[in-house]
Amino acid sequence: MKFIKRSLTVFSIVIILCLSLQAQIPASPQQQPVAITGATIYTVSGGVIQDGTIIFEDGKITAIGAGLEIPEAAERYDASGKYVYPGLIHAYTNMGLTEIGAVDVTSDINEFGQINPNVRAEKAFHPESRHIPVARSHGIAVSLSSPSGSTISGFSAAMLMDGWTWEGMTLRAPIGLMINWPMITDNDNNNARNQLKEIKQAFSNARSYKKARSVSENHRTDMKWEAMIPVLQREIPVVVQANNARQIQDAITWAESENVRLVILGGRDALYAVDQLIAKDVPVIITPVLTSPGRPWQGYDEVYSNAAELHEAGIRFAISGEYGSANAMRLRHHAATAAGFGLPADEAMKAITLYPAEIFGLSDRIGSLEVGKDATMIVTDGELLDLRTSVEQMFIRGRKIDMADQQKNLFKRYREKYRQLSEE
Amino acid sequence: MTHRFFIVFFFFIISSLLLDAQTSPAVGLRDNTPAVHALANGRIVVGPGNIIENGTVVIRDGVIEAVGSNLSPPTDARVWDMSGRTLYAGFIDLYSDIGIPEPEADRERRSIDVLLRQVPAQFSSFLAAQIAAEETPEGALYWNPQVRSYIDGAMVFKPDARNASALRSQGFTNALVAPQDGIFRGRSAFVSLGEGDGNDLIIRDNVTQNISFDRSNRLGGRYPTSLMGSIALIRQTLSDADWYNNAHEAYMRNPSGKERPEMNVALAALTDVVRGRQPVILDTSDELAFLRASKIAGEYSLAMWVRGSGHEYKRIDAVKATGLPLILPVNFPSPPDVSTPENAREVSLEELRHWNDAPDNPARLAQSGVTFTFTSDQLDDKKKFLSQLRQAVDRGLSKDAALAALTTNPAQLLGMHNKLGTIERGKIANIVVADGDIFSSNTKVVDVWIDGSRFEVEAVPDVDVRGTWSVSAVDRDIEGTMEIKGELARLSGTLTIAEKDIELKPVNYDLQRLSVGFPGDSINVDGRIIMSATVSPEEMFGSGVLPGGRSFEWRAMRQEHFTPEQRERPDRKFEKVDLPVVYPAMEYGIPQKPEQPEHVLVQNATIWTQGPDGIWENADMLIRRGKIAQVGYNLNPPRNAVVIDAGGKHVTPGLIDAHIHTSIAGGVNEVGNAITAEVSIRDVLDSNNIWIYRLLAGGLTSANSLHGSANPIGGQNAIIKMRWGALPDEMLIDDAPKGIKFALGENVTRNQRRYPNTRMGVEQIIRDEFQAALEYEVAWKRWEQNRSGIPPRRDHRLETVLEILKGERHIHSHCYRQDEIIALIRVAEDFGVTIRSFQHTVEGFKVAEVLQEHGAGAAVWSDWWAFKVEAYDATTYNARLLHDQGVLTVIHSDNTQLATRMNWEAAKVVQTGVYEEDALSMITINAAKMLGIDHRVGSLEAGKDADFVIWKQHPLATDTRAEQTWVDGRKYFDIEDDVRMREEVREQRAQLIQSALAALDAGEQPRRGRRGGISPFEEDYSCMEDHYEIH
């Protein structure tokens, strides 16, 4: 098996080198003011502006409204008949951490061992991943790239979807400490029990480490427990993957006893814990929407309508798509399905823009179109929640993004092939 | 040690003297104990419905000599008082493994397996040689180690006293025992459950050939790995047995100049089976497996008995229609564990219903007139057989039917009804003696008589010590009464001296000796007193020891005999919940096939015909007897037509998915060989699958259910309609063209343990198989010219491949890269074949002109990519480019959940510049054309099947949904009915969970399963994740 692995590695490296030659060129910083005019603007936080204008300078939104005066120096972007939305935020993805699912060595998702609070996603973020331009073409401007797999998987990072290096692309990091809540069942399984013990042990260790360090600076460094201090100080939340009712309930109790900020990821059974989620103000990242219930007795559309139910119950939530970066492009399809099954459309838009920004403390920069926020937005040729709509242009911090991606390039390349054939 | 051995050996010799076979020479003195018994004054159940209330059975030398009510026992008979007893004919178990040893694990084979996993892949040629060696059997056997038809139960049988006694305790006197391993397991032997050696116990050898769908891993062999593979192997083996016979007959007639046909004892052992002279028994796991078994029986004209599963009641009519007799286990399920909210949530209605309904199975089969017998098989504890059986009687199985299933039915099946099955003159003296009605809960089997010998079920001591005794010990102040009571195995007692009760401890009684102890302070001595006595019915006497060490003598006289307390076994504390019968017997099942109205008129809708007429706004569609009659404006409703106002709504053809893997039982891939053309999805369709309903809810009405992608030439497909509630065969589109799955690229080359390992090898192995099929046909033609000589062997694999070459079977080939697409096209062209479709076709956009010129369609995903290397150079523009170049383009799912929302998959394609109508065609008419079913479905045109969907609005919008889904002019899904059914499902689960909680509360042990997990993709096989291992 090693032999195959190695040969696949070499093969994929060759491929990845080849692709970097045709990768898109990151945009330069915004040089002059830009005014997008004539658009239907979904500010998300402040309603919809018909025939509106949005002006931004030095990467920040400076004005937004209808019938605005446009500065002389501004570059005009005529968006008549088009729509402007904030850039989408993918709240849970392995974007930049993996390239080809079946080839292990292209994957930097899952660190060795079960307790890895010290690893950080941004540091392994691959700026040349072919998945990034494809995701951009579907409106995603920021991805919360997250490690996964082990019990405590490490910290996620908010990554901008354009730039030369991971440092240049990091919007903010760390964002959340990713934890997989074990599934305890009757008839097993020491494995899950041990995982639970390990989580509790890790937090207890980190707490005593923090105390030891506060008493003596000479206490030797422990990479793992050191990394957890901001979590213990409630500066950064834990993001606990929990779908089953028991997992969700137990995670809430645990977070309360550890006095840490909790975000539930998954939340398939969140309706079994409504009171506690509201009482403890625990938000839920619903992921994914586009699937069917695991229990045959459930209604066929119960996962589709989960977001609407959580909204009605008054639970704070956001929608993420699938974890795999190749499928990040489907983010708006997930939101659109939630909207199709009872979630008000403006809530569905917020669920992939403003809500994840608020949940992860990024709403000072992104998530809605407001004066003073980053000029991170998209221009589309139709309603974003309609699958037939295409994203025409993206701006990240005012930078006009090259919208080419490998999928469009292949289209162009082979359209040319058939043009040549038709001439023969 | 040696000493003990000799004692055992000595007893062995003694006992074998008594039990020697009739042909063994006498050793020592002959045993001529008289064997004449009269079982007098019993209630004799002669047979079902025939009772002598007070009668006598006379047994002489193992045979019933006389039965009657006014019968005086012969003078030489030993008379047994049977008053209070009920006598039945001995029970017969037709499915047992008693006395059949497990085959020795093949250590050598296992070690090769371990080796194979460890050796680096570079040594694959060495591995290939090893595997070849591994697969070569010893002796003149079948190539596949799972075929052990030659194993003879009568040769391997070893008397097993312990298990025989357990079966006797349930009233069984005979069993049909069979080897337990392999797919063809071997021949059964009919044995009696008495004591003795094989010569005595085996009544008949070679009774049935036992077959199973389940391979036995300890026998090794790489094929089959799936249920469809097992079925294919059964077919091929039976064909081979038929050929073997014919070939040898032809050779024997005139051997000169003919090639000698091979010698094969496994095939020879099947001669009587394929000639319909010997019954086969096939064991099944559910009602669909039963129907699979019956299909094989029909194809090969087998005399088949089916070992049932207890699920037959779910499809009672279909089971009855087969006419096959059943051997029923009584392992009714324990209540599911619903003791916590978490566990209760994970229990399906299907499981709860089966727990509730399973004990009805025998009664319902009996009412329908199905012939069946009972077996103790599948019970972990054989001693629970009678109590389980009584549950079935409680649920309405008549006692006569139950008795017939235990006695006369099996005797009839065995053709031994003149010897067994009733208590009648001349029959073998196999009799069950019970202390009451055997079907009542407190009744116990007291004795069974087998071949005229009595076997005690529970040894009753000659003298029952229990009762009250007056005790006296001369000069020792021990004067009083002693009471001994309790169960024989656990006695207790009190001694009362001077009105003071003293507990006796211990109280032991064995071989007419009682021993007790008690504290001495009762008679003013310090320490404990121990006593023992020899017991006769009215008196006992013995000695005792005082604390000081002195012995004394004592005696006791009987005052009263023991009368046992009347024990009433508590009834089950929960009631059966009466639920409506639905098909399938699970959530969202329906009571009957939805009706097909004479006329249906859908009015005022936007109708996407997907035919030449395009889209009609505000139009009507008329359905007549399940077919589309007309699409037009302002159509008049015929009298009594069902009129549906679809104002503001959209109507499209039912959606079609050209590539799913759902509703397949027992494995999607047969990975035992790189070429598996002989296996078929049609054999293993699973109609008990919630996804069928969910697909309807998403507007999907037809699909191509395909074999997985492990093999260059995989299995045969099944093109089905989502006829929820129908049986597997009823789901098939009857005139759909045959198809087969091919696969190229990574999935088929990944396995280092078999050919091919490269795309080069894939091209070659397909070419090789095509060539072999042609040469196979030549051989048959040559033989058919004069039909002399040795006939060719029928090869199911090559015959399937030959169908491909004759254009009678469509190739649907899984592929990714452009090079492999072209390579397969060129192979096909060399053989004059057109590839019907490429599936996934991730790089199809690169060679659209090649596909177009060849005439192959392309089924693609809307946007899956990058999950493996060959899926990396992908584009969402794939469908667009293919479509632009005139290739028949289809959007497929390869994933059951995705298949529930194909309209959105099509919507995504619009984004790349495809017209909406064309996008919708990619999941309707184009898919129908690809599968060759466009004469039936795919568009809304007059004469086609009325398969359509009424959508809330535009079918490609994300806030649309299927409101009604019709198949064959029958409404299979209605969004309003769905709401009602959810409520029913909730109520029924709640009721059954309450019932299960009551059962658990009453002390029943819960059935543990995998609980507490959400597994949304349980059913969700996909070629995308086709990772497989050969075990």
Measured from the Cβ of residue B1006, the count of other Cβ atoms closer than 10 Å reads 16
Res. A138: pLDDT tops 70: yes
| A250: CB partners within 8 A, 6+ apart | A181, A184, A242
Given this model, what pLDDT does residue A3 score? 46
**B894 min Cα distance to partner chain A (Å):** 14
How is chain B split into domains, by residue range? 36-90+421-462, 467-561, 746-916
**β pairing state of B36-47 and B86-89:** parallel
At the second CATH level, the architecture of B746-916 is Alpha-Beta Barrel (3.20)
Q: Residue B448 forms beta bridges with which residues?
A: B432, B455
Contacts of B904 in chain A (CB under 8 A): 333, 337, 387
DSSP string for A352-400: TTHHHHHHTT-TTTSSS--TTSB--EEEESS-TTSTT--EEEEEETTEE
Which pLDDT belongs to residue B34?
87
R_g of chain A, CA atoms, integer Å = 23
Q: What's the residue count for chain B? A: 1031
Q: Do B1013 and A327 touch (CB under 8 A)?
A: no
**Residues contacting B289, CB < 8 A, separation 6+:** B213, B309, B665
Q: Which residues of B878-911 are buried (b: 16+ CB within 10 A; e: fewer)?
A: bbbbbbbbebbbbbbbbbbbbbbbbbbbbbbbbb
Among A187, A388, A406, which would you mutate to test the B interface (most chain B Cβ atoms within 10 Å of its Cβ)? A388
Domain range list for chain A? 88-94+119-364
Written as six digits, the tokens of A85 are 């939305």
- Bond into B584 cis (ω within 30): yes
Which of A7-21, A348-362, A370-384 is least confident? A7-21
The amino acid that residue B995 corresponds to is S
CB spacing of B863 vs A329 below 8 angstroms: yes
Question: Which chain B residue shows the shortest CA-CA distance from A291?
Answer: B897
For A304-327, write each residue's pLDDT tens digit: 999 999 999 999 999 999 999 999
Distance CA(A422)–CA(B131), nearest Å, equals 52
Average pLDDT estimate for A56-74:
96
Q: Do B332 and B362 touch, CB atoms closer than 8 A?
A: no
Find the mean pLDDT for residues A164-190.
Answer: 91
3-state secondary structure of B725: coil
Q: Look at B960 and A340 and tell me if their CB atoms are within 8 Å.
A: yes
Q: Is B844 helix (H, G, I), strand (E, B) or coil?
A: helix
The pLDDT assigned to B124 comes to 47
Residues B754-783: tens digit of each pLDDT: 999 999 999 999 999 999 999 999 999 999
Q: Which of A8, A15, A291, A295 to mutate to test the interface with B (most CBs of B within 10 A)?
A: A295
Query: How many A/B residue pairs have CB atoms within 8 Å?
Result: 179
CA–CA dist B561, B972 (Å, integer): 71
Look up tokens 């329908």; give the residue: B368
CA–CA gap between residue A307 and residue A315 (Å, rounded): 9
B912: which chain A residues are within 8 Å (Cβ-Cβ)? 411
pLDDT of amino acid B461: 79
Whether residues A387 and B1017 touch (CB distance < 8 A) is answered with: no
Check A388 against B910: CB less than 8 A apart: yes
Going from the first residue of chain B to its last (1031 residues), give the mean pLDDT of each consecutive group of 10, the final group possibly shorter: 47 43 81 92 97 97 95 94 96 97 61 48 51 65 95 95 96 97 97 94 97 92 94 98 95 90 96 97 98 98 98 98 98 94 94 96 98 97 96 96 98 97 97 96 93 89 90 82 89 90 92 92 86 94 90 92 66 76 98 98 98 97 98 96 98 98 94 96 97 98 97 98 98 98 96 92 98 97 90 96 98 98 98 98 98 98 96 97 98 96 97 97 98 98 98 96 98 98 98 95 79 42 53 29
Mean of pLDDT over chain B: 91
Residue range A88-94+119-364, CATH number: 3.20.20.140
As a 3-state breakdown, chain B gives helix, strand, coil percent values, each rounded to 5, of: 30, 25, 40
* Positive or negative torsion for Cα B445, B451, B454, B457: negative
Cβ count within 10 A of residue A416? 10
Task: Tell me the CA distances in angstroms from B149 to B101, B186, B190, B208, B222, one per residue in order.
Answer: 16, 4, 17, 10, 18
CATH fold, domain B36-90+421-462, is Urease, subunit C; domain 1 (2.30.40)
**Angle B656-B659-B662 from CA coordinates, rounded to 5°:** 95
- Collect all residues of chain A within an 8 Å Cβ-Cβ radius of residue B818: none
pLDDT-based confidence at A237, cuts 50/70/90? very high
Chain B residue with the nearest C-alpha to that of A186: B1011
**8 Å CB contact of A185 and B849:** no
In which order are the strands placed within the sheet that holds B184-187?
Answer: B184-187, B209-212, B280-283, B304-307, B326-329, B372-375
Tokens describing residue A297: 């007795």
Beta strands in B650-772 (DSSP E): 650-653, 655-660, 700-705, 713-716, 718-721, 738-743
Pair B813, B713: CB distance under 8 Å: no
Q: Residue-wise over B742-776: b if at least 16 C-beta within 10 A, else e?
A: bbbbbbbbebbbbbbbebebbbebbbebbebbeeb
User: Is residue B572 classed exposed, middle or buried when 0-12, 13-18 and 19+ CB atoms within 10 A define those classes?
Assistant: middle
Cβ within 8 Å, pair B697-A183: no
C-beta atoms surrounding B549 within 10 Å: 7
ipTM rounded to 2 decimals: 0.94
Distance CA B804, CA A43 (A): 59
Q: How close B739 gets to chain A, by Cα (Å)?
A: 29
Which residue of A292, A349, A392 is the best one to mutate when testing the B interface, meaning the one whose CB has the most B CBs within 10 A? A292
**Residue A8: its chain B contacts at CB < 8 A?**
869
Answer for the pair B788, B256: CB distance below 8 angstroms, yes or no: no
Q: How far is CA A58 from CA A31, A33, A43, A399, B136, in A?
A: 7, 7, 19, 9, 77
DSSP state of B211: E
Model pTM?
0.92
A158, A362 Cβ separation under 8 angstroms:
yes
For B296-323, write each residue's pLDDT tens digit: 999 999 999 999 999 999 999 999 999 9
Which residues 6+ apart lie within 8 Å of A215 measured at CB?
none
The answer to whether the bond into B159 is cis (omega within 30° of 0) is no
Protein fold of B467-561: Lipocalin (2.40.128)
Cβ-defined contact of B874 to A407 (cutoff 8 Å): yes
pLDDT on residue B10 = 44
